[in-house]
Amino acid sequence: MNLTEMDKIWVSETVEKIKNKMYAVTERNVDKIPYTTKDGVFDDRSDKDNISWWTNGFWGGIMWQMFSLTGEKLYEETAKKLEEKLDVVLMSAQGLDHDNGFKWLPTAVANYRATGSKESYNRGILAANNLAGRFNLAGRFIRAWNDWGTDDHRGWAIIDCMMNLPLLYWASETTGDPRFRQIAMAHADTAQRCFVRDDGSVNHIVEFDPETGDMVQSYGGQGYGVGSSWTRGQSWGLYGFMLSYLHTKEERYLNTARRIAHYFISNTPENGLIPVDFRQPSECSWEDSTAAAIAACGLLEMSKHVEERDSQIYLLAALRMLKALEEKRCNWKPEVDHLLEKCTAAYHDKDHEFAIIYGDYYFIEALMKLSAHELFIW
């Protein structure tokens, strides 16, 4: 990446701050699978009621990125312990869903890529086969969620699934079986057609008729409302289509990722801090730091695969958000477990602006990209 000398210094200093904080945090939390913090202390989602939670792979992902950076055995051992805990999920029909990629790409697949573990390979392939089995042939989409509540989810698909497709690409690349890639591309093509709007914004949820495959309607989901612009959804789409391009080299995916990126950049506030929804009411100040970190990762990856002039646009947009997070939204105190603050899961949830583990993961991943220490997980 074409970083200035000042940017190189900032990256080096920020990576050093991450190293200084994360070892102490990890020592305190070797047996946990965290999602958020209370009073600066990680919770633990490894109990039987929460072991299937969709974010349970990200702490493992942080461990593998830190191991790639430092070589410290503490990180490797903690990651492997978490991976083994997730084995019970592989035997749970309700625990397996469209988020299999989020659970096993940063854990089992990362372990396989780092160490060649046969056990980890087996876990990754099992998760990929289950994800492929969620494919609706009529609508050419991967079904989101399982049955819960009163809604009929049989025809639901969500933009988040774009980030889970790399599990299928990896399965094809490692087994030589093209069916995984074919399913991933079919879903990506449907998402391109039905999720991405003309202006580059994206829908969160799209409902299809599960029998005919026809699109029925879209939902606001975790954003402000129907037709709004949930920022984490924008970032899932931006990074997700970029990853589909990396695995397939199909220009249509790169072009779609760029369209979403241009929308995201043009709507980024001057201070570089990202709201929960780009179309939320003007009097609402809620932020989602995770959307900034995820989008930055996608933009950094994009900057490697376009012409130099455009590359700088994406690189500078990513740096702007990352520097804003580092200066204004990171808690660098070693006694506090989380890193990013002001993360929000959904606009209409009761709670807003708290710590969320995937925010920490993507912030660290972005800095690993910038410092050339990344273990490529996706």
Give the dihedral of Cα atoms 153, 198, 169, 377; nearest 10 deg: -100
The reply to whether 99 belongs to the active site is yes
SS (H, E, C) 313-352: HHHHHHHHHHHHHHHHHECCCCCCCCCECCECCCCCCCCC
Alpha helices in 141-281 (DSSP H): 165-175, 179-194, 231-248, 251-267
- Catalytic residue (choose from 99, 288, 337, 360): 99
The separation between CA 276 and the C-alpha centre of its own chain, rounded to angstroms, equals 16
Q: What are the E-state strand segments in the chain? A: 37-38, 41-42, 135-136, 141-142, 156-158, 205-208, 215-219
Quick one: which of 209, 242, 239, 237 has its CA closest to 221? 237
Q: Which of 94, 102, 216 is nearest to 147 (CA)?
A: 94
Q: 50 near 102, Cβ under 8 Å? A: no
The whole-angstrom separation of Cα 272 and Cα 320 is: 6
Compute φ and ψ for 137, nearest 5 degrees: -65, -40
Q: What burial letters (b/e) apply to 106-127, b meaning 16+ CB within 10 Å?
A: bbbbbbbbbeebeebbebbbbb
Give the CA count within 13 Å in the CB-facing half-sphere of 47: 4
Residue reference for tokens 């202390």:
41
**Active site (annotated) includes residue 189:** no
Cα torsion 319, 320, 321, 326: sign: positive
The answer to whether 58 touches 357, Cβ cutoff 8 Å, is: yes
Contact 155, 207 (CB under 8 A): yes
**Catalytic option among 97, 160, 288, 360:** 160
How many residues can be counted in the chain? 378
* Residues noted as catalytic: 99, 160
